[in-house]
Homo-oligomer: A and B are copies of this chain.
């Protein structure tokens, strides 16, 4: 096939898990109806972003993979004949939890998981408390429709993750995400923060000559004047960093975009960055600092 079609579900996440799952299923169906072949949900879409505080009881939210949510999601993928990327809070063993994306193929089978490699820890994003860093490396999933590279949120700031996933033959990178503004910072820093976020991901498209999609949640979560205001802005960029579609900062949206394989190959032929990499000189990348 000369194209594949991405479906991005930008959604609010209510306090009720069953409701979120139900709404996700509805939207997967809606995306499939509009022609989407690879559908991606936002990071940890089953509930509010719980990492705003450190609370041991919240580990109860984690679930095994495969497990109950996977069952519903896999069934939905099969019914809709779509590949599906769904981000879950994985309980791997007692005391061992991951921020994990599960990839289902269009027949509902689980192709595998990607466990978030780069884990943030910032005010109201206390992820290092909850998530053990991924131990599977960077991964690509050969779905029925496309070879999909999966990364998660904080990974998006790391050119290394994008590059390593691209080198495994990804045709697109998808970033399930939960990122927002601190309401008190928004006036001063909001535009710059969002701009940097969009820019770094578009740059992965440029550097690697592939499609990139970010799938964010939307809406305010937490106490009034505090908490986090998730900024939406989900988007798809072409292999030269051009925006193909972009959601608003405030609304739930469904983005469906067709991606042309020949456009990607043309881009790489005309700007052949992969040809000229100095792999003899990149050793230092595995150092923390070169001092």
Partner of A158, one of B137, B158, B207, B291: B207
User: Across the interface, which residues of B come within 8 angstroms of A196, CB to CB?
Assistant: 206, 240-242, 271
Partner of A167, one of B120, B162, B284: B284
User: Across the interface, which residues of B come within 8 angstroms of A272, CB to CB?
Assistant: 122
Q: Given A199-B199, A278-B133, A290-B167, do A240 and B192 touch, yes or no (CB 8 Å)?
A: yes
- 12 A-B pairs with CB atoms under 8 Å apart are A159-B162, A159-B207, A160-B278, A164-B284, A167-B289, A168-B290, A168-B291, A192-B240, A192-B241, A196-B240, A202-B203, A279-B285
Whether B242 lies near A195 (C-beta < 8 A) is yes
List 5 extra interface pairs beyond A164-B281, A279-B285, CB under 8 A: A118-B278, A274-B289, A279-B288, A282-B286, A285-B286
Q: Is residue A163 within 8 Å, beta carbon to beta carbon, of the partner chain?
A: yes
How far does the alpha carbon of A287 sit from the alpha carbon of B278 in the complex, in Å? 9
Interface string of A164-185 (1 = CB under 8 A from B): 1001110000000000000000
Whether A169 lies near B291 (C-beta < 8 A) is yes
Number of contact residues on A: which range applies?
35 or more
User: Across the interface, which residues of B come within 8 angstroms of A117, CB to CB?
Assistant: 278, 281
Q: Is residue A78 within 8 Å, beta carbon to beta carbon, of the partner chain?
A: no
How far does the alpha carbon of A196 sit from the alpha carbon of B208 in the complex, in Å? 12
User: Across the interface, which residues of B come within 8 angstroms of A145, CB to CB?
Assistant: none
Give the distance to chain B from A177, nearest Cβ to Cβ, in Å: 15
Interface string of A252-273 (1 = CB under 8 A from B): 0000000000000000001111
Give the distance to chain B from A147, nearest Cβ to Cβ, in Å: 11
The 10 closest A-B pairs by CB, nearest first: A203-B203, A159-B159, A167-B290, A285-B285, A168-B290, A196-B206, A200-B206, A196-B241, A157-B273, A118-B276
Residues of A within 8 A of B (CB): 117-120, 122, 133, 137-138, 154, 157-164, 167-169, 192-193, 195-196, 199-200, 202-203, 206-207, 240-242, 270-274, 276-291
Q: Given A203-B203, A286-B283, do A273 and B158 touch, yes or no (CB 8 Å)?
A: yes
